[in-house]
Structure 1
C-alpha cells in the first residue's frame, strides 16, 4: 500500500463528505490515524493534531467573548418583566445554574433569551449560543467555541475533538453563560450539562416535560392584549391615531392572532409591506388562513412562519404518536380555554393511550394541561383545522373527519335529564347548569366554525338542546338563533314532518313566546299542532303539549276567547288519555286556573287551583317540585282576590318548603320569595318586603346573572317597593336602569320592556316630570298597540294610564269602554279604569259625575273582588275624598257672605 498525502486544503470539519468508490473503499471527513481496507485500498494518513491545554488559553481580552446570532430586536415589547424574571433566576450565587425557558413555538423564547444575553453580557466572561435541536448541532456548537479561541489549530481537528476541548475550556474558566436554543430532547443535553459545572446554562424549548432532572421550567406565555397591540402597530410602522374604531380593529386582530409575538410580527410586516390596513389583514387571514400562516414577510432575516414552526413540531409528534395529532385536530374545533378533559377522552377506548397522547402534546407546548381542563392556543387551533395540500397532516379529509368527531364529542357530552319548570315547558334541571355552562363556550366556538349548510343531524341535536338551556338562562336572542338553525337543519336532513323537526318547531315557538314575539309564536304553534295531529294523532302527548303551549300564547296575547276553550279542551283530553293524576294533566289544570285568574274570573280560578294543589299532594307528594309550583300559583290567585290572609301563609309555607327541598337560591325559590315580598308590600309591610326583594335580587344576580329576565323583573319590583316607601328618587333611578337594560337585552318591543317603561312613566309623574311621563306613556301605548294589539290587557292598561297622566275625560271614557268590551265589567283592570275615569271627571270639575262613577267602581269592586280587596279599599278611599271635597254654595238669607257645606248625599257603602 502506498501512502497518500492529504489534500493541500482539507475541507473543514462538518463540511460535505468525501466521496468513495471502488470495492471496500471508504471516505472520511477528517482523520488522525490510518484507515486500511482490502486489496486496492487507499490509505490516508494525517498528522495528529495537538491542541494546547484548555486551562492555558484565556478568554479574549477587551471585548467580551460571545457569538450571539443577531442584535437585540428594536421591536422588543412587553417582555421587560420577563427579562428581569430570567435575570433573577440566573443570578444565584451557587454554580452551576440551569434555567429552562419553555413555551409554544413563536411565543418569543429565543427573542427574550437574545434580549437578556445582550442586556447582561457584562455579567459573564463568555456568552456562547448553541442551536440544540439535535446532538450533532450541540457538538458543532461547542466545537465552534474552540474554532473561535484556536483559529489556527482547530482546522485539522475533528468536530468531536474540538467539542471535547471546549468542554475542558468551560470547566477551567468559570463565569460563562451557555445558551442551548430550541432544545428538543433533554437526553441530548444531559451529558453535556453534567460536565459544565462552572457557569450558567439557559435552555429554550417547546417541550415542557422531561426537564425535571435538570431544573424546573420557566413558562413564557403570550403577550398581554395591550402589548400585543403595540407590537402589531410598531411592526406595521403605524402610530396610534386616537380613533376608537382603529384601536378596536387592532385589538381584534391581536386577539385573532392569539397575542402570539411571531404571528403579530408576521401580520405587522405584511400590513407594512402591502400597504393595507389592519381590517384588510384580518379579513385576509380569516379568508385565506393556510396561505397567510405560511407567508414570511419580505426582507426578513427570520424566515420562520406560524405554519413552518408548527409543521416541524407536528411532524415530530406524528412520528411518535399519530393519535396525538388526531386529538389536536379535534381540539381545533372547540374554544381554546377551559376545555373539559372529558370532552376528548372518548376518542379512543384505550384511556392510557389517550393519556400518553395528551402528555405528548403538552410536552411540546401544543396544549396546556390543567386538570380537569386543558388549553390550546387559538392559532394552533387555526392551523390544525386549516387544510394545506403541502402538509400531509392537514389534508381536507382529515380535517373534516376531525370536525365530525368534534360534533359527536359535543353530543356525547351534553348534560341530560330535563325537568319541568315554572312554565310547564321542559327546561334544564338546575343541577345540570354547571355542566352546561362549562360546555357552552365550546358549543358556541364549534357553531361559529361549522358552515350552517353542512349541519348534520348530530349538530342539530346539539343546537336544539343548547337552545333549551339558553332559554332557561334568559339568553333569548341566541336561543332563537340556535333553534332556527336546528330547525333548518332538521327540515333539510330529516324532513318537515319528522318528530325531531316538530319538536324543534315547538321549541322555537316557546322561544318566540319568551321574546314576546307572539306574532311569530302563535302561527308556529298552530302549524305544529296541525302537523302533530296529522303525523302523531290528536291524542298523542306531544300534540297535547303543543296545544297547551298554544293556549299559553293565546293567553299572553289577551285572547281569552281562544285561550280558555283550548285550555279546557286540552285538560279534558289529558284526563281522558293520561288520567286525572298524570303530571301533564295537573299542569293543564294549573294552566286553566291561571287562564281564569288572568281573565279576572277568580270564582273559577281559585277552586281549580285548590283542586290542583290537593290532587298534586295526593298523587305526587307534599314536597314534589310541581306540588310546590301549584301551591305557589294558588297563593297568587288568593293575592289577586285580595285575600292576603290566605295568600301570605301559603307563600311563607311554600318558600320554606322550596328552600328546604330545592335550596335558597333555586330559581323556583327565588320566584316564591319575590311573590311573598309583593304580598307583604300589599299589606304595607314595606321593611320586610324591601329586605326580601333585596335578598332575592342579590341571589338572582349571582345565580341567574345580572341580565336574566327574572333578575330584571325583581329589580323592577324593588323599584316599585322603594316608590311606595317614599324613596321615589331611588325608584326612578332604578327603573331608568332597568328600562335601559331591558331595551338592550330583551328589545324595545318585549312585553317586559313595555311594562317597566310604564312603571318609569308612573314614577316620573309622581316626581314632578309630567311632560316626560306623558310622552313616555304615549310611546308605551303606541308600541303596545303595535306589538300586542289594541285590545291586549296591557295595552288597555297603558291607555288608562295615559288618560290619567293627561287628565283627559275623553281618553278615560274610551279606555273604560274598551276594558268593558274586551275584559268585562268585573275585570280588575276595568274596575281600575272606572276609578281613573272618576278622577279625570273630578279634575275636570264635574264632581257629581265623578262621585257617581266612583260609587259604581266601589260597588263593582266589592262585589267582584270582596270588601277587603286592595282595589276595593282604594276605590272607597277615592270616594271618601271626593265626598269631602264636594262643596255647594247656599244663598244666604241675610245677605252675608256665602258659606261652604260638605254634603253626604252619596249612596252608603255596601259590604
Structure 2
C-alpha cells in the first residue's frame, strides 16, 4: 500500500455551515494539537448533540489544516459505519478493487494505507463507542485524527480533549442575523431574546435561521412565540431544502435511543430534570431515593453523552434549556416523550423537591433554601400552568407558593416574598372570599413579610383585618383568634396600645387555660415587656420576678424557659436600677 499515490481531490471532507462564527479558543486548541511535531495526534471534540462538533472539525480541516494533504471523513457512529467508511476510502484509492475484494479486504486496505502514509487527516465523526474505532487508532499512526462525539469518553493521555459548549451570546446573535439577512435586510426584532431562548445552541440557531430566511414575514420574536407555545413541533420543523433528520428533536431522540439501550432509567431522569431550573440542580433532586446506585448510574450515563453537565465540585448538574423544553413536550411519535411518562416525571420532580426541603425555621438551612430557590420557582410556575386543572386552592400549589416564599426569604429577597404573597392573596380572595382559611393564612404571611421589610403600618393593617375577620367568623375565644390578637399586639409600635391588648389576651389566657399554663406565662412575659417600654418599668420588673418564681416552681431551675426568665429579669432589672 505504501506505493499507492492518492489522486488529486479524492478526499471527502464534509462541508461546514455557510455561516461559521466564534470558536476561536477551540480552533486554537486544534491548531496546537494537530500541528505539533508528534508522529500521531488525536484531538477529541465532545459535547451535546447540536453544539457544533462536526462543524468545528470540518471548518478546521477546510481552513486551517495547512500541510495536511488528504482529508478522510468517516461517519463513525457504529462499527459497521467505521468499516463502511474505510472500505469506501480504499475504493476511492483504487476503484477497480471494489469489484474484486470483499468489504473486509477493503477495510484492511484502508487501514494499511493509513498505517504506511503520513500527512493525512482522518475525521471520525459522531463516535458512539470507543471500541468501534480502537483498531483505527492502533494502526493509523502516520497522520492526524479528529474524533467527534457526544460521549465524554476517557481518552489516553496523548489525546487533546476539547469539551465544546454553546456559543457566546454575541456570536449566537451574529449567526442568526447572518442567516436571516442573507437575502436582504429583515426585521430582526427579538433576535437576542430568541438566541437566549434557544440556549445559544448552534444547531437550534441554524434551524431557526433557516426557517426565518424562508418565512420572510416572520420575525425572530414571532418565532420565539411559536417556540414558547409549541416547543416540540417548532424544534422538529425543518426549513424547506434542509435535512429533516438534522433537527434538534431527531438528533436528541437518537441519543436517547442509545442511552436507553444501556441505562433506561437515565431517560426517565432526564424527563425529571426537565422540570427544574436548567442550572445547578442539586444531586439530592437527581438521585433515586429507593436505589441510589441506579440514580448514580443514570447520572453517569447522561454525563457521558453530554445530555447534562456537572459542576467541578460534583454537587450539582445542569441541563440545556432546550433539552428541558423538548423533554417536557409530549410527542406520540417519540418513544421518549410519552405523555403519561412526562406527567409521571413531573410528579416525581415535585416529590423529590418535597423531600429535599429543609426546616425553614433553622438558620442553618438557609444555604440549602438558596440553592433550591430557582428550582422551586420553576416547579411553582409549572403548578401555575396546571391550576386550571388542579384549582388555585390545590394544597400542593399553595404549599409551593409558601415554600417559595421561604426560599426568597433565605436569599434576602424580601421584595419577592411580598410580591408573591400579594399576588396569592388577590387570587385567594377572588376564589374563596376574604374569610376563608387559606385567605387568612396568606394574609398573615403577607403581614409578617411587611413587618420584616419595615413596612409596619401595612403589617398592622393586615393584622387588624385578620383579627376582625376571625373574631366575626370564629368567635373571641377561638385559639386562632387569640393568636391573631397576639400577632397584632406584637406588631404595635405604640407600646401603650400593645400593653392594652396584651392585658386582654392575658385575661383570656387565664380564663381559658389557667394562670400557670406555659402560654399564659409567655403572655405575661409579653405584657411585662410592653409595660417596660411604655414607661411602667417597676411594674414590669415586679411581673418579671413573679414569672421567674412561677417557672422555677412549675418547670424547675434548669428549664430553658426558666433560664430565659432569669436572663430577662437581669436585663430589665439592671435597666431599672440605672433610672
Q: Which bracket does the TM-score occupy, shorter chain normalised?
A: 0.7 to 0.9
Alignment of 1:89-488 (within 5 A): 89-211=33-155, 215=159, 217-237=161-181, 249-274=190-215, 275-300=217-242, 303-345=245-287, 347-370=288-311, 371-416=314-359, 418=360, 428-450=361-383, 451=385, 453=387, 454=390, 456-471=394-409, 473-483=411-421
Q: CA RMSD in A?
A: 3.9
CA shift at 1:304, angstroms? 1.2
In the alignment, the residues of structure 2 paired with residue 165 and residue 296 of structure 1 have an alpha-carbon distance, to the nearest angstrom, of 39
Query: Structure 2: where are the runs of 5+ without partners?
Result: none
Asked if the contact 1:509/1:524 (under 8 Å) is kept, the reply is no
In the alignment, the residues of structure 1 paired with residue 468 and residue 341 of structure 2 have an alpha-carbon distance, to the nearest angstrom, of 42
Q: 1:452 to 1:397 in 2, by over 3 A?
A: closer
Query: Structure 1: where are the runs of 5+ without partners?
Result: 1-53, 419-427, 647-865, 867-911
SS at the partner of 1:121? coil
Q: Which moved more, 1:481-490 or 1:467-476?
A: 481-490
In the alignment, the residues of structure 2 paired with residue 154 and residue 67 of structure 1 have an alpha-carbon distance, to the nearest angstrom, of 17
Q: Which moved more, 1:109-118 or 1:85-94?
A: 85-94
Alignment of 1:393-792 (within 5 A): 393-416=336-359, 418=360, 428-450=361-383, 451=385, 453=387, 454=390, 456-471=394-409, 473-483=411-421, 503-514=441-452, 516=455, 517-518=458-459, 521-522=462-463, 524-526=465-467, 529-530=470-471, 533=474, 538=477, 540=479, 542-553=480-491, 555-556=492-493, 561=497, 563-574=498-509, 588-589=523-524, 591-593=526-528, 595-596=530-531, 600-603=534-537, 607=541, 621=560
CA shift at 1:336, angstroms? 1.2
Per-residue CA deviation, residues 281-304 of structure 1 (Å, 9 max, x unaligned), is: 222210111111111122335751
Correspondence for 1:68: 13
CA shift at 1:355, angstroms? 1.4
Per-residue CA deviation, residues 487-536 of structure 1 (Å, 9 max, x unaligned), is: 799999999999777644432332344453348613552266348846xx
Per-residue CA deviation, residues 219-278 of structure 1 (Å, 9 max, x unaligned), is: 111112222222222222289x9x9xx88x433322211111111222223333323222
Q: 1:619 to 1:385 in 2, by over 3 A?
A: same
CA shift at 1:480, angstroms? 3.5
TM-score by length of 2: 0.85
In the alignment, the residues of structure 1 paired with residue 64 and residue 448 of structure 2 have an alpha-carbon distance, to the nearest angstrom, of 67
CA shift at 1:73, angstroms? 3.1
How many residues align? The count is: 562
Per-residue CA deviation, residues 523-555 of structure 1 (Å, 9 max, x unaligned), is: 552266348846xx9363x543322112234x2
Correspondence for 2:5: 58
In the alignment, the residues of structure 1 paired with residue 516 and residue 170 of structure 2 have an alpha-carbon distance, to the nearest angstrom, of 63
CA shift at 1:204, angstroms? 0.5
Q: 1:471 to 1:57 in 2, by over 3 A?
A: closer
CA shift at 1:609, angstroms? 8.7
Q: 1:303 to 1:224 in 2, by over 3 A?
A: same
Asked if the contact 1:510/1:521 (under 8 Å) is kept, the reply is no
Asked if the contact 2:127/2:147 (under 8 Å) is kept, the reply is yes
SS at the partner of 1:153? helix
Asked if the contact 1:621/1:627 (under 8 Å) is kept, the reply is no
Per-residue CA deviation, residues 321-353 of structure 1 (Å, 9 max, x unaligned), is: 3211111111101111111101121x3512111
Q: 1:167 to 1:495 in 2, by over 3 A?
A: farther
Asked if the contact 2:17/2:55 (under 8 Å) is kept, the reply is yes
In the alignment, the residues of structure 1 paired with residue 378 and residue 541 of structure 2 have an alpha-carbon distance, to the nearest angstrom, of 51
In the alignment, the residues of structure 1 paired with residue 496 and residue 446 of structure 2 have an alpha-carbon distance, to the nearest angstrom, of 23
CA shift at 1:198, angstroms? 1.7
In the alignment, the residues of structure 1 paired with residue 21 and residue 374 of structure 2 have an alpha-carbon distance, to the nearest angstrom, of 31
SS at the partner of 1:129? strand
CA shift at 1:384, angstroms? 0.6
Asked if the contact 2:515/2:521 (under 8 Å) is kept, the reply is yes
Alignment of 1:792-807 (within 5 A): none
CA shift at 1:387, angstroms? 1.4
CA shift at 1:136, angstroms? 1.7
In the alignment, the residues of structure 2 paired with residue 595 and residue 474 of structure 1 have an alpha-carbon distance, to the nearest angstrom, of 29
Q: Which moved more, 1:579-588 or 1:435-444?
A: 579-588
In the alignment, the residues of structure 2 paired with residue 212 and residue 494 of structure 1 have an alpha-carbon distance, to the nearest angstrom, of 66
Q: 1:579 to 1:336 in 2, by over 3 A?
A: farther
CA shift at 1:477, angstroms? 3.6
In the alignment, the residues of structure 1 paired with residue 211 and residue 571 of structure 2 have an alpha-carbon distance, to the nearest angstrom, of 65
- Greater RCO (CA < 8 Å, at least 6 residues apart): 2
Asked if the contact 1:460/1:489 (under 8 Å) is kept, the reply is no
Q: 1:560 to 1:606 in 2, by over 3 A?
A: closer
In the alignment, the residues of structure 2 paired with residue 352 and residue 531 of structure 1 have an alpha-carbon distance, to the nearest angstrom, of 57
The higher radius of gyration belongs to: 1
Asked if the contact 2:54/2:125 (under 8 Å) is kept, the reply is yes
Asked if the contact 1:110/1:181 (under 8 Å) is kept, the reply is yes
SS at the partner of 1:401? helix
Q: 1:522 to 1:503 in 2, by over 3 A?
A: closer
CA shift at 1:581, angstroms? 8.1
In the alignment, the residues of structure 2 paired with residue 477 and residue 606 of structure 1 have an alpha-carbon distance, to the nearest angstrom, of 37
Asked if the contact 1:130/1:142 (under 8 Å) is kept, the reply is yes
Q: 1:217 to 1:524 in 2, by over 3 A?
A: farther
Correspondence for 1:859: none
In the alignment, the residues of structure 2 paired with residue 324 and residue 593 of structure 1 have an alpha-carbon distance, to the nearest angstrom, of 61
In the alignment, the residues of structure 2 paired with residue 414 and residue 269 of structure 1 have an alpha-carbon distance, to the nearest angstrom, of 44
Q: 1:183 to 1:582 in 2, by over 3 A?
A: farther
